[in-house]
Amino acid sequence: MVDLRQATPHPGVLLTSSQHACYQRPVRVHLAGALPRIKTRLAKLNPAPTRDIPVLIGGGGERKTLRLVAEHADIWHSFTGVDEFPAKSAVLARHCADVGRDPATIERSAALQDSGRLSADADALAGLGVTLLTVGCDGPDYDLAAAEALCRWRDSR
């Protein structure tokens, strides 16, 4: 049996490739240019937001993504494991220094990968300054065991 999730490209890839085919030119998203426009539009919403809407940027690219996080993000979501997180956080801190920003003003978020080590990894990431933790569940069965374990971990603290 073929797993269509692995055999079929992600919808974003399909959209980008179809746009490329239609226009015969590469489609590029310039996030650095888009974020200031997004922030300007947020100020014009009607009704106005009751608080600042945080900008979350996820990723771990050391040259571009973490630089954008330092420049624009309120929250950084890391997809790395516990072992790699300190190094990525140090790169982010260097980018923050380059742009004159206190790295402590960026909230840290991370995805927990191995449900067998969920509590240990959650403890380790919390010790590294992560305040938002996510777990994933995938269909068609949507096993919520990892989410329930994370809630139990949170409630025990």
Say what the alpha-carbon torsion angle 11, 143, 54, 99 is, to the nearest 10 degrees: -80
Mean pLDDT across 115-122: 89
Q: What integer pLDDT is reported at residue 16 of this predicted model?
A: 47
* pTM, rounded to two decimals: 0.71
In the structure encoding, which two tokens stand for residue 121, read together?
């990894």
Residue 59 in this model has a pLDDT that exceeds 70 = yes
Domain encompassing residue 151: 4-156
Peptide bond into 47 cis (omega under 30): yes
CATH assignment at residue 105: 3.20.20
The helix (H) or strand (E) run that includes residue 58 is strand 56-58
Domain count of the chain?
1
Of the candidates 122, 123, 144, the residue with the CA atom closest to the CA atom of residue 133: 122
Of 4 and 80, the structure prediction assigns the larger pLDDT to 80
Span 22-50, pLDDT tens digits? 545 555 666 677 778 887 887 788 787 78
Please tell me the distance from the alpha carbon of residue 134 to that of residue 150, in angstroms, as a whole number: 8
* Mean pLDDT rounded to a whole number for the chain: 84
Span 127-149, pLDDT tens digits? 999 999 999 888 888 888 899 99
Task: Identify the weakest region by mean pLDDT among 14-23, 46-55, 64-73.
Answer: 14-23
